[in-house]
Structure 1
Amino acid sequence: MEANERPPVVGLTAYRERARYWFWDHSATLLPDTYVEMEVAAGGAPVLLPPDPAAVGAVERLDALVITGGSDLDPARYGALPHEKTQPARPGRDATELAAVRAAVDRGIPVLGVCRGAQVLNVALGGTLHQHLPDLGATAHGARPPEFATVDVALDAGSTVGRLLGDRVTVRCLHHQAVDLLGEGLRVTARAADGVVEAVELGGHPFVVGVQWHPEQDGADLRLVRGLVEAAARTRDRWEAPGHAVSGGAGA
């Protein structure tokens, strides 16, 4: 297979959780199969990145990065005290994902943040979060885990998500936090009817998108993830073109 025919390599950030299987009961690095299946169906070659800062170096070998959903970010990461409803901090995961986002943006590879991943993207670029949406009267985003809420979202037609999904889409959500103050260079490209930010994008890059919803919960709609994989292929092919010197950075 020629280099430009291989599937783009997409890194998926994983969790570290207690897991029981066979006769084992121990800490494990894991990720729901829906994320992996989504990437394969969209044409990508997924690899899991453990929640350890040592994994950040792998970003140099990736064609795209997905920051997956999960528990709340430590509010200290954006200069806030924890709300009583904010989940306990996961320092290793926070450090890994924040550094991985910055490395991917600096390198110029496509990035997709899913739910927590959208929040990580915002905080990595200097933004802040609303820690508990029900305090703002926003209760339609999945307040009863593990049930996903069905949310109607209006999208900016000129944005990446708008071009891929149209001006309106119904999505699956499960979050009690959301973007507050925007990180540097980000703009809001989708909102729910109650005003909650549902997507953000970074200008000046091939594909840097954060969505509050869970595309992996709808395997029949691959438009967003296929857009990520196609952007990864285009970016990789430019780097691998004859005469294009690459030193590992976005400006190479």
Structure 2
Amino acid sequence: MPRPLIGITTYVEESTRFRVWDVPTSLVPSGYYELVQAAGGAAVLLPPDEPGTAAEVLSRVDGLVVAGGPDLDPVRYGAERDPRTGPPATQRDEWELALVGAALAAGRPLLGICRGMQALNVALGGTLVQHIDGHVDAPGVMSWHPVRPVAGTRYADLVPEEAEVPTYHHQAVERLGRGLIASAHAVDGTVEAIELPDPDRWVVGVQWHPERDKDTRVLEALVAAAAAHSPAPAR
């Protein structure tokens, strides 16, 4: 059996220096595809494209990971911009929200990581807290804190114990999107994982960065769901 093909979103950095070049580059940290591979999947990177192509792209993969990154534009959930919210990433918002919508429509297994979890929530009509004091200590430095699973959820079945996780965020889920439930919380009550409680669809979001701690349990479940899903068309 071929490994399930898991698409991972990438994003454009307008000025990326490598060797002699300084050019716009579509990229994602290597931890994402390494974690997919460690969990038994084959990874393929999905560069930004026109939102109207999202369904076509999703038809060629067995599952989707929406990667972390900068803040979503508050206009996406009907809010005024907090001055501490980062600048808009319009192309990325459009593309990733289109991918999430296409994955949900097609029943493709989906994992949102950090920003990806927030995108999942917003795609289903939810809102975000635009700033939580103390949730980012220093630029580019992960902090670790415990998250507690909610009994009876898919996430709790995968990770039944309280777990220390690496995080880097200052925004969080506020109002849950349609059909979503919280499946883990931080000690301060921040929503740390969400999911659709539908046994026929595998849709999960985590606020932390599993690609930084190498815990493969959630990714292994995504890969297993992708393998069980009706195969994507021949590639």
Normalising TM by the smaller chain, what interval?
over 0.9
Q: TM-score, normalization: structure 2?
A: 0.94
Q: Give the corresponding residue for 1:209.
A: 204
Which residue in 2 is equivalent to 1:31?
A: 28
Instruction: Name the structure 1 match of 2:130.
Output: 131
For 2:211, the aligned partner's letter is E
Aligned counterpart in structure 2 of residue 9 of structure 1, from 5, 9, 28: 5
Give 1:75 shift: 0.3
Q: Which residue of 1 aligns with 2:165?
A: 171
The superposition leaves residues 21-77 of structure 1 with CA deviations (integer Å, 9 ceiling, x where unpaired) of: 121101000011111111111111111111222552311111000000000000000
**Secondary structure at 1:61's aligned position in 2?**
coil
- Is 1:20 matched up with 2:44? no
Give runs of aligned pairs for residues 143-222 of structure 1, distance below 5 A: 143-204=137-198, 205-219=200-214, 221-222=215-216
| TM-score, L = length of structure 1 | 0.88
Misfit runs of 4+, over 3 Å: none
Paired residue type of 2:82 = H
1-side partners of 2:138 and 2:218: how far apart? Answer: 26
**Residue identity matched to 1:216:** E
Q: Report the CA distance between 1:81 and its aligned residue.
A: 1.3
RMSD: 1.4
Secondary structure at 2:69 match in 1: coil
> Partner residue of 1:88?
87
Q: Percentage identity across aligned positions?
A: 47
Once the two structures are TM-superposed, the CA of residue 149 in structure 1 deviates from its matched residue by: 0.9
Which residue of structure 1 lines up, in the alignment, with residue 76 of structure 2? 77
Distance 1:154 1:51 in 2: 34
Alpha-carbon shift at residue 15 of structure 1 (Å): 1.3
Asked if 2 retains the 8 angstrom alpha-carbon contact of 1:151 and 1:170, the reply is yes
The answer for unaligned runs of 5 or more in structure 2 is none
Give the superposition deviation at 1:158: 1.6
Paired position in structure 2 for 1:67: 66
One-letter amino acid of the counterpart of residue 160, structure 1: R
Structure 1 residues 125, 186: closer, same or farther in 2, change over 3 A?
Answer: same
